[in-house]
Chain A
Amino acid sequence: MKIFENEIVSEFFEDKLAVAGVFLFIAFIFCALFPALLSPQNPYDLEQLFLENSFKAPFGEFLLGSDEQGRDILSAIMYGLRISLYVGVASTILSVLIGLIAGLVSGYFGGIVDTIIMRIADIQLSFPAILVALIIMALWGQGVTKIVIAITIVNWVYYARTARGVVLSEKEKDYAQSAKALGMNSIGIMFKEILPNIMAPIIVIATVRIANAIILEATLSFLGLGVPITEPSLGSLIANGYQVLFSGYWWGSVFPGIVLMSLVISINLIGDRLRDVMNPRLKR
């Protein structure tokens, strides 16, 4: 694929902020993959929680303080990070797959298939994403898999539209036409010839939408319609902390919020740089 050629990779790393974003993101992934290695406590092992430790202020025995049940906030953040990242990445992979196939088919074949797929997309886009996800979750109940599917339902449209747009212009180009003349079948042309040319814009959108998916999940969890209390994400940690915020226990929601924010910023830094590097219209 074109995007992994050296020129673009080296251009990507010219920007210091983008490099910082990459490092930060790798650090977050590491914490999310191995929370058991790094965290001082297993926050969901009840034998390790002691009520006399409840609401300890940060920077003492507990680096980032503890919650009502004496749970270490730092450990809870690491386990929460895992769920937030999982939801973001899983829903993005799923929606890219569905969106790409829908967009390719819709753009390549046109006609009635195109009309149906794009009509569905239009109806869905006429409602704000958060509202659609909210209603799905309200009807369906909480759950990690459910929220992944809800976010996928919301997000596939963006990929489908982008893919369709690119296919419409690409399929008329010489290389696609000659593949057709050489007798390649439609599926071959779509996936072998056209697909590689769609990947650049799709990767840029996907990076930004991972960040978006993570925020969406956090928002739904904050509203009490996201992940269940047994598998708390960063959003549900913030929501838990919010309930005691007015009593002055600020650390329960401020620290998970800072982590959530840095995670999203690191992803957006990468996404921004990718877009600048891959946008041919900004090249002289």
Chain B
Amino acid sequence: MSVISFIVFFIMYKAGDPVELLLPPDATHQEVVQMRAYLGLDKPFTTQYAIFVKNALKGDIGNSYIYGQPAVDIVIERFPATLELSFLAMFFSVILGIPMGVIASVKPKAILSRSIMFFSLAGISIPVFWTGMVFVLICSVYLGILPSSGRGEVLYFTSAFTWDGIKHLIMPVITLTLFQLALIIRLTRTGMMEVLMQDYIKLAKAKGLPNRIVIYYHALKNTLIPVITVIGIQFGQLIAFTIVTETIFAWPGTGKLIIDSIQNLDRPVVVSYLLMVAFIFVIINFMVDVIYTFVDPRVRVK
């Protein structure tokens, strides 16, 4: 994480001077110099980085140049909205994706399986921003049944508890879910097809066990390991994809924040966001390792 913070800090330093964006174009030279000194930007790079590290170790990444509040606070404040979208999307993808993948693998030639596979092919092929846009076009512009932007009424960090909030959630969540769902279907199917050809499946069938038990107990269990790994990796991708979804639906989460901050060269906010994403990745990897031990008794945490 320290390597990451250095790289991000360095490229944001190279990116340019935020002061020019912050002050009105008719600002005097003196104002520019004052502003720079106030933000600590007049010092050489090494000094700036040293100050940054010293403060970061105390948990202070600096104030946002735009909002004037601590950058970490701004990111944390926006995070529930992003996590809400990501969790819901991941939840629906897993709940729907694994059974659909299993169905498609058991009878690959059946019409239902073929439709599932075509759906999943479309799912990975359609760009997320385009799906979102078409939803807005149909549901908001023409039918006018769903709101096209914002989060609606928020209760306990999430809008899932109010009817108004749910209405705001539907489109962003479906948009975000489709791609993940398609990916999980494909992974489960490929994994299952490979496992179903193994000898122990033939043995289980030969023993006369009912098909349902062979598929859902013996085969699925062995398919789940790679699927769980990918779900872990994909959770990070989901958080990144919220950048697109939040831009389309004007969702007040971190994705929209990062796009605005990149454009405004708001270095502390960008650094805090990336550190936060890296931190979440570490936690997810840990969680994936823990889940392994439940699914696969051969893996034991030492």
B262 near A: Cβ within 8 Å? yes
Contacts of A219 in B (CB 8 A): 127-129, 244
Q: Are B277 and A269 in contact (CB under 8 A)?
A: no
Binds A, one of B57-65, B130-138, B288-296: B130-138
The A-contacting residues of B in range 73-121, CB under 8 angstroms, are 121
Q: Are A268 and B125 in contact (CB under 8 A)?
A: yes
In the complex, A56 Cα to B128 Cα: how many Å?
28
The A-contacting residues of B in range 1-50, CB under 8 angstroms, are 3-4, 8, 11-12, 14-15
A62 near B: Cβ within 8 Å? no
B222 near A: Cβ within 8 Å? no
Q: Are A139 and B11 in contact (CB under 8 A)?
A: yes
Q: Are B236 and A128 in contact (CB under 8 A)?
A: yes
- Closest A residue to B130 by CB, please name it: A257
Known interface pairs A238-B133, A268-B121. Does A127 touch B193 (Cβ–Cβ under 8 Å)?
no
Interchain CB contact (< 8 A) of B129 among A131, A222, A246: A222
Chain B nearest Cβ from A261, distance in angstroms: 5
Chain A 246-265: CB-based contact to B (< 8 A → 1; otherwise 0): 10101001100100110011
A169 near B: Cβ within 8 Å? no
In the complex, A282 Cα to B195 Cα: how many Å?
10
Chain B nearest Cβ from A29, distance in angstroms: 17
B299 near A: Cβ within 8 Å? no
The B-contacting residues of A in range 134-163, CB under 8 angstroms, are 134-135, 138-139
Q: Are A245 and B121 in contact (CB under 8 A)?
A: no
The A-contacting residues of B in range 260-287, CB under 8 angstroms, are 262-263, 270, 274, 277-278, 281
Contacts of B244 in A (CB 8 A): 130, 219, 222-223
Contacts of A246 in B (CB 8 A): 141
Interchain CB contact (< 8 A) of A134 among B122, B197, B239, B243: B243
Contacts of A272 in B (CB 8 A): 121
Q: Are A250 and B197 in contact (CB under 8 A)?
A: no
Contacts of B121 in A (CB 8 A): 265, 268-269, 272
Interchain CB contact (< 8 A) of B134 among A223, A248, A257, A264: A257
Most buried by A among B15, B137, B193: B137
Chain B 125-158: CB-based contact to A (< 8 A → 1; otherwise 0): 1111110011011000100000000000000000
Most buried by A among B128, B133, B241: B133
Q: Is the interface of B mostly helix, strand, loop or mixed?
A: helix
Chain B nearest Cβ from A83, distance in angstroms: 15
Q: Are A131 and B277 in contact (CB under 8 A)?
A: yes
A126 near B: Cβ within 8 Å? yes
B247 near A: Cβ within 8 Å? yes
B174 near A: Cβ within 8 Å? no
A12 near B: Cβ within 8 Å? no
- Closest B residue to A262 by CB, please name it: B125
A77 near B: Cβ within 8 Å? no
Q: Are B127 and A218 in contact (CB under 8 A)?
A: yes
Interchain CB contact (< 8 A) of B133 among A134, A253, A281: A253
Sort chain A's interface into a size bin.
35 or more
Q: Are B278 and A242 in contact (CB under 8 A)?
A: no
- Closest B residue to A245 by CB, please name it: B137
Interchain CB contact (< 8 A) of B240 among A130, A268, A269: A130
Q: Are B278 and A138 in contact (CB under 8 A)?
A: no
B124 near A: Cβ within 8 Å? yes
- Closest B residue to A235 by CB, please name it: B127
Most buried by A among B3, B243, B247: B243
Q: Are B134 and A138 in contact (CB under 8 A)?
A: no
Q: Are B277 and A254 in contact (CB under 8 A)?
A: no
In the complex, A211 Cα to B124 Cα: how many Å?
9
B237 near A: Cβ within 8 Å? yes
Contacts of B129 in A (CB 8 A): 218-219, 222-223, 238
- Closest A residue to B238 by CB, please name it: A128
Chain A nearest Cβ from B259, distance in angstroms: 7
Contacts of A284 in B (CB 8 A): 197
Contacts of A223 in B (CB 8 A): 129, 243-244, 247, 259
Chain A 115-140: CB-based contact to B (< 8 A → 1; otherwise 0): 00000000100111111001100110
Chain A 200-233: CB-based contact to B (< 8 A → 1; otherwise 0): 0000000000010001001100110000000000
- Closest B residue to A211 by CB, please name it: B125
Chain A nearest Cβ from B262, distance in angstroms: 4
Interchain CB contact (< 8 A) of B130 among A123, A139, A261, A265: A261
Contacts of B134 in A (CB 8 A): 254, 257
Q: 18 extra interchain contacts, Cβ-Cβ under 8 A, other than A238-B133, A250-B137, A257-B130?
A: A127-B278, A128-B237, A128-B241, A130-B241, A130-B243, A131-B240, A131-B243, A131-B274, A134-B262, A138-B263, A139-B14, A218-B129, A219-B127, A248-B141, A257-B127, A265-B121, A268-B121, A281-B194
Q: Which 6 A-B pairs have the closest CB atoms?
A: A128-B240, A264-B125, A138-B262, A257-B130, A265-B125, A131-B240
Chain A to chain B contacts (Cβ below 8 Å), 14 pairs: A126-B278, A126-B281, A128-B240, A128-B241, A130-B237, A130-B241, A130-B244, A131-B243, A218-B129, A219-B129, A254-B137, A264-B125, A265-B121, A265-B122
